[in-house]
Amino acid sequence: MRVLILMHDVQEDAGTIARYLQKRRAALRVVRFYDGESLPDDASQVDAVVSMGGPMNVDEEEAYPFLREERLFLSRCFERQVPVLGICLGAQMIAKAAGGRVMKAPQEEVGWYTVSLTEEGSEDPFFLGLPDSFLVFQLHGDTFDLPPGGTLLVTSPTCRNQAFRLKNSLALQFHLEINADKLALWLAEHHLKDGVLKVYDEVKDNLYLNVQRLCRNFFGQVEN
């Protein structure tokens, strides 16, 4: 299984998603946009794509030219039916590349929040084995409309559109990939409360179980 990981910022690696893929002996290729690295010429060179988060907005293509390159690349992935998993900014990139709109959220979400499966989400194979409601870490000020053909799978009271399916791709507004190292970095960078790490220590086992389940469901469609 060949997986392409797209990084927009040095603090936004694939975390526990990469941990899962390494255990499955996937061939990982990381494109570090912030270091000037380039996308492959052909989307068919990979079996799946993971687009990570970042501090920029999807519309800042002039300031960050790689956003336009990524948008066009994701469109080619959709055409070739290469599944894409998007996290936070990556989810918003999926929405925009598929013709959806990204805008400011009604309120920022920073910290631990509970999200819930929609009726469609509870029946969707991507969320097989996950509970109807679960705790996630959020760090975003933007949100998205569902693109044409998108199905809402996860929601919350503070930000309605938390996750959607687009054919064989999956967009997650929340940070499924979170780990202790990443939280420690964000604690200082984003002035998070000290209690964030305490909560993580209490729930990390369940968090990783959810990562394993979702990754197994998502990458199972291309794993050989």
Q: Which of 77, 88, 159, 215 is catalytic?
A: 88
Question: Is-catalytic flag, 177?
Answer: yes
The Cα 112–Cα 176 span in angstroms is: 12
d(CA 30, CA 11): 14
175 included as an active-site residue: yes
Distance of CA 158 to the CA centre of its chain: 18
Identify the active-site residue in 77, 140, 177, 215. 177
State yes or no: is 109 an active-site residue.
no
CA dihedral 6, 1, 75, 81 (to 10 degrees): -160
Helix axes 180-189, 195-219, angle to 10 degrees: 130
Catalytic residue among 8, 70, 109, 175: 175
Strands (E), the chain: 2-7, 27-32, 48-51, 84-87, 102-117, 133-144, 151-155, 163-166, 169-172
In angstroms, rounded to a whole number, what is the distance separating the alpha carbons of residues 9 and 46?
Answer: 22
The set of catalytic residues is 88, 175, 177
